[in-house]
Chain A
Amino acid sequence: MLEIKNISKTFNPNSVNENKALKNVSLKLEDGDFVTVIGGNGAGKSTLLNAIAGTWLVDSGSIILDGEDVTRLAEFKRAKLLGRVFQDPMMGTAAKLQIQENLALANRRGQKRGLGWHISPEEIESFKETLRMLDLGLEDRMTAKVGLLSGGQRQALTLLMATLKQPKLLLLDEHTAALDPKTARKVLDLTVELVEKNHLTTFMVTHNMKDALNIGNRLIMMNEGSIILDVSGKEKEKLTINDLLELFNKTGELNDSMILS
């Protein structure tokens, strides 16, 4: 489904602020994989996600998505293959547009947009059904501006929009980090539900180790722009928080000793 080969990315090259954010990263996701990605600040997990999304182009290596080489493809062109949810709940929806207008935009992801009306009566009906699933009462506020919704509601809506048109890969970038614990729980449950229902291949960056362990069939840990752990299946099920903490500490010590030597 996704094949990343030896990608690297350096920000502000040849300056004091030079930052080697990704170092020769390779990764292969199988169809239906649900990968959780963890790592400390600056480990490169969001950078890796953005590299896949095409926020900027990588310096070297290649990214193949659903058999298509997207390495040099602009962000908006890759969008036809990707569903995305951002950390900031404001980012995934257009506040000044109505709920149904946002959904209609998402329903045309990757399609040519012409002079037809932006939404059809059939879509309105089907959106209503889909929104009912959220159990947030949004189905009765279809023409309300999204700006009137709470952060949790907006994030739930973004999630719906990201999966409305089956994406080849769902990219979740710490999408519950900005929410209160209760809402975060709800959004996470919805995530799992939608992924299972639509059999989506998912790449979920998170800062929550418990979530990373409990959700998905595969776990990746990153440090300093490299993947340092990649476990799946049974092996992942056996993994505990303590194991992860230990690994975290070890990388820290490793770094310190490296610096000292």
Chain B
Amino acid sequence: MLSFSALLRALPGNIAQGMIWGIMALGLYITYKILNFSDLTVDGSFSTGAAVTVMLIIAGCPAIVAVLIAFVAGCLAGLVTGFLHTVLKIAPILSGILTQIALYSINLHILGNKANQAINVNDYSLLLTLRNTKMAILVALIFAAVLIAILYWFFGTELGSAIRATGNNSQMAKAQGINIDKMKVIALSLSNGIVALSGGLLAQYQGFADVSVGRGAIVIGLAAIIIGSVIFEGKNKKEINFSILLGSAVIGGIIYYISIGIVLWLKLPTNDMKLFTAILVAVFLSVPNLSLGKKKEDKANAGN
């Protein structure tokens, strides 16, 4: 019954959806890897992006403008988390959770107090759709490439370099006169802006926005980042170009969704889908721990 060609034919769709979540992982990369801030806002801001995009397109806004406004909406969500953390001195995880909870209500309002809003590909001109997966890959690829280029540039500027220092060693950053609170707010905004943008892409891709579409986004994003780093960093801790590290997060997203595709294709009992997805991803994640070379290096860097 299992046909490899079926798996192959499903591949473009899995890649497209994986890339969209990979773009989400790019946003998460900023907080998780660069700022060293476990930001749980993303589950909410992803849905915000989806909701804003769909409502704007229905209101007659061009799709590309809609996702850019979704980006701004995401930035605002990040700004709130940043405010809770830096001004009200609430712990990082709790700040993110609070914003995420608040966003649930806000997202409902954006969706016109409905949990679900359709955006029919037959009636609206969308950037990408599940109807045409190869085109969707192309569009997602363009978004990913442009974002990676922008992030590569941004984190090479004085400001970006100050954000990296803040995430790596806040004491050092302060001693260099860096306003670390400001850096955190900027990074959180940028991160959630990208997350919301990817939410806007997913809503168009699947043809609807759902108030809970971002539920679990953080898990998928983290999985994408870590799968990507397993593949590209691996054993050799050589200097890896920042743009490749970012690209690896996108590829991690693709691999995650190909994994789900494989689980579906294997026609395992449907109730076990999440279990097998988790196992498959765990296999990817355990690879670096099973090689001794990496462990040594981890120890060498343990001081940071």
Contacts and interface: CB of A to CB of B under 8 A. Distances in A.
Contact of A143 (B161, B169, B180, B239): B239
B174 interface: yes
B164 interface: yes
A116 B176 contact: no
B169 A95 contact: yes
Interface string B169-197: 10111111111100000000000000000
Interface stretch (B22-30, B97-105, B152-160, B202-210): B152-160
Contacts, number: 97
Interface residues of A, number: 38
Given A90-B303, A92-B175, A118-B157, A97 B162 contact: no
B173 A94 contact: yes
A113 B168 contact: no
A27 B186 CA distance: 39
B176 A93 contact: no
A32 interface: no
B159 A92 contact: no
A185 interface: no
A207 interface: no
A147 B304 contact: yes
A97 to B, nearest CB: 6
Nearest to A80: B177
Given A95-B169, A116-B157, 13 more contacts: A76-B174, A76-B177, A77-B177, A94-B164, A97-B161, A105-B162, A105-B165, A109-B176, A113-B178, A114-B159, A115-B159, A117-B156, A118-B160
A111 B303 contact: no
Nearest to B160: A118
B176 A86 contact: no
Interface of B: 154, 156-162, 164-165, 168-169, 171-180, 239, 300-301, 303-304
Contacts of B300: 147
Contact of A79 (B158, B159, B160, B177): B177
Which of A90, A105, A115, A117 is the most central at the interface, judged by chain B CB atoms within 10 Å of its CB?
Answer: A105
A100 to B, nearest CB: 11
Contacts of B156: 117-118
Interface in A56-105: 74-77, 79-80, 82, 84, 86, 90-97, 101-102, 104-105
A90 B175 CA distance: 13
A105 B161 contact: yes
B177 A95 contact: no
Given A115-B157, A117-B157, A94 B165 contact: yes
Contacts of A250: none
